Every structure is written in structure tokens, then in C-alpha cells.
Amino acid sequence: MRRRAHATVDESWCGRLELLVLQPTPFCNLDCDYCYLPDRDDTRRMSLATLEAVATRVFQAGLAANEVSVIWHAGEPLTVPREWYAEAFALLARHCPPGVRLRHHVQTNGVLLDARWCDFITTHDVHVGVSVDGPAWLHDRHRRTRRGQGTHALVVRGIEALRQAGIPFHVICVLTRESLARPDEIFDFFAALGPSCLCFNVEEVEAANGRSSLAGPDRALIEGEFRAFMTRVVERLSPSAPPFRVREVDHVVQVLRDPAYGTRRGNSQNEPGRIVSVAWDGTYGTFSPELLGITDGRLGRLGLGNVLVDPLPPLLGSESYRRQRDEVRRGNERCRATCKYFDLCLGGAPANKLGELGRFDGTETMFCRLTQQAVADVVLAALDDMGDARRAPQAPHAASRE
């Protein structure tokens, strides 16, 4: 049975945790020019004692939902040895109460993937996401080693190891300005690569990345290019045999199919306790994972405590928690009052609001105009077109025109 959290902590977190983001190390072996991670030169690693504190706090306080995705990320996870993960997975399994299902995920840059990692991934049923931005000329502009060398060939080699082992994978493709003119080239590249799902991230202004090629004075032009890009991607998703799913399209369709559509008040990034992110040293936070490790000029350190010494969930009286929570909540309420896309987006991502607007209680950002508003318009227009096509008078059978 789940133990009740102490009365002075925020008990509303109980049973809500669906995503546990764990930073095994802040270190990354690459130096991508749009990276938001502030400490990617730091090679320190989470100790198993810190992980034990995470597990104890999360599971004994009854924070977990019935299914929890554990994402090993926020540095390059494959720079940590497999032996460490074997112990870490066993530790979490020991603490996980019956009735809670843990699913492990890694989001990797792919360059260290090989047959030994594939054996480990298969044995432990780890879900894999690989970051690759499309064809080599595009990927290598941004995703480089510390010596400035492109990494595309290494990533494709890593993906080939996954394919040889029969391991399904999704890809995250970061869109920069130069991507937007090449939807067919990017689509064809991924169709040949074979992911189960293609996820488009836009180059974001957040944390350590203070600029984006998609932000700037020519906003209307960029948004037009983005809409044209997504329109072409949706056109290429032939309904009969799409080569992969596209996360952004799936999202809109899933939200529309949700029986609770129109009644939800927030999403996993802006409702406290649905995501918990823990840094290598035990510092934890909630809301957008990208906020972990950030010090904001106005709000101070955005970590809410450390699992080694502080309660999780945080104390209700904690000044830093109250300020974050209340400001995020105000942002959500403003979004709900002003934005016609609210029921699809549910108030956006606090990390992007802070990165672009300097506050959690703002509303519209470049990030949401592209990834929520433009995508919704494109997908809804495609659904309208499909409906029109079904209602249109049937064309004569091709054979009758011969």
C-alpha cells in the first residue's frame, strides 16, 4: 500500500508521476551548436546512493502513476558504462512497488551505439530514441564533435547496429531554418533510415541556447516556411502505408480523440509532479526537464531540492516551489483565457516561456506558434481535406476512361 506523504509536502503529486528524467551524467561527447545543456563538459556521474535516494523518495511517497517512463537523458547516456545501468535498473526494480510498471528509455546521439549496446538494450527492453537531423549536409552543420567534425556517419553506423539487432527506434530531428526548404529530402532520408516514429523538435531558445535560427524579425516569413514544411510532410504521409509515424501529427489526432477533450487544464510540463527530473548530484525539479540545472536571474536556482537531504515532493511552504508553481499556473490561466489553441496545447512548456519571455506566466512563444499552432492548423486542414474528398462525388472508375 502506498504511504501517505507527510502533511507539509505537496500531496497533490501523489500518483501523478508519469515521467522520471534521470541524468546519469551531465557529460556529452558531442558539442552541438544548439545544445541547451549548461554543463556538458562535466564528466561526473550519478552515484548509486543518489539513485537509491531517488527511488526511496519517489516510491515510498507514492508519487508514481501506474506506468512510469524512466528517461536516461540530459547528457549523453551511453557515455556511462552498461555495468552501471545494469545495477541502476536492478535497484529501481527492487524499489518499484507492485502495480507500477517502469519502462526504460534512452535518448542518445547514437555515436556509441554498437552490438554490445544493442545486446544490453534488447536484454533490458530499453526504448531507444536517436537524435539525427536528416541528411549529412544538414546534420553535420550543427551536430559536431568538440573538434568540429560532423557526426552523421557515426550516427548512421549506430542506427545500422540497431537495425541489425532488430531494435525499433524513434528519431528526434531538430529543425533549423535551413531544414524548412527541404521537406522532401528530409522525409526521404528518414523513410530510408527506418524509424518507427519521427519527432520534429524546433531549434529552441532555452537554457544555455540563447538564440534560434527560427526566431527573429522575419517571423511571418519563418512561420510561413514552417507551415509549408509541415504541410508537405503531412502530404507525404500516405494514409495507406506511411513509412513512419510523425509525433506532431499523432499528438493532434490523439488529443482530438481524447474523451476528455476540452476539459483538461494543463499538460505534463506545466502540472507539478507529472514529470520529475533529477540531476546527477540529486538536485531535482518538476515542470519542463530542460529547467534542471538552470539559475534564473529573477527566480534563482530552479532546482526544488536535493533527494539526498530534502523531501520529495517539496514542502508546501518552500518559497522557490511556490513561486515557480504559482507563476506557471498564472501562465496556464492566461493561455486558457486568450488562446484558441488551448485545448490542443494545454498551456505550453514553462522552459520555452522562461527562455523566450523571461517568465513562466507569459503566453505565446515562437516555440508554441510553430509546434502547437502551426502544426494544429496543418493537421486540421489535412483532416478537412480528407473529409471533403470522402464527401466529393465519386469519380468515374479509371477503367471507364480508357
> Alpha-carbon distance 381 to 231, whole Å?
9
Extract the C-alpha cell encoding 96: 518499484
What DSSP line would sit under 180-205, residue for residue?
GG-HHHHHHHHHHH--SEEEEEE---
Contact region with ligand SF4 (CB under 6 A), list: 14-22, 181-189, 297-305, 336-344: 336-344
Residue whose CB is less far from ligand SF4, 252 or 335: 335
Least separation in angstroms between CB 172 and ligand SF4 = 20
Q: Does a cis peptide bond (omega within 30 degrees of 0) precede residue 98? A: no
Contact region with ligand SF4 (CB under 6 A), list: 19-27, 237-245, 297-305, 360-368: 360-368
> Alpha-carbon distance 277 to 284, whole Å?
6
The CB density around residue 255, as the number of other CB atoms within 10 Å, is 18
Least separation in angstroms between CB 36 and ligand SF4 = 18
3-state secondary structure of 36: coil
Which one of residues 339, 354, 366, 382 is an interface residue with ligand SF4 (CB under 6 A)?
Answer: 339
Q: Is 209 in the site for ligand SF4 (CB under 6 A)?
A: no
User: For 154, what's the count of Cα atoms within 13 Å in the CB-facing half-sphere?
Assistant: 16
Q: Is 34 in the site for ligand SF4 (CB under 6 A)?
A: no
Contact region with ligand SF4 (CB under 6 A), list: 3-11, 128-136, 169-177, 333-341: 333-341
Give the count of residues interacting with ligand SF4 (CB under 6 A).
12
Map the footprint of ligand SF4 across residues 371-400, applying CB under 6 A: 372-373
Which one of residues 364, 370, 375, 382 is an interface residue with ligand SF4 (CB under 6 A)?
Answer: 364
Which one of residues 161, 341, 350, 354 is an interface residue with ligand SF4 (CB under 6 A)?
Answer: 341
Contact region with ligand SF4 (CB under 6 A), list: 31-39, 54-62, 303-311, 362-370: 362-370
User: For 108, what's the count of Cα atoms within 13 Å in the CB-facing half-sphere?
Assistant: 25
Contact region with ligand SF4 (CB under 6 A), list: 211-219, 241-249, 295-303, 334-342: 334-342
Q: Is 270 in the site for ligand SF4 (CB under 6 A)?
A: no
Side chain identity at 34, as an amino acid letter?
A: Y
Q: Are 139 and 133 in contact (CB under 8 A)?
A: yes
Pairing mode, strands 283-286 and 275-278: antiparallel
> Alpha-carbon distance 100 to 367, whole Å?
33
Q: Is 345 in the site for ligand SF4 (CB under 6 A)?
A: yes
3-state secondary structure of 35: coil
Q: Is 327 in the site for ligand SF4 (CB under 6 A)?
A: no
Query: Which residues are at the interface with ligand SF4 (CB under 6 A)?
Result: 335, 339, 341-342, 345, 347-348, 363-364, 368, 372-373
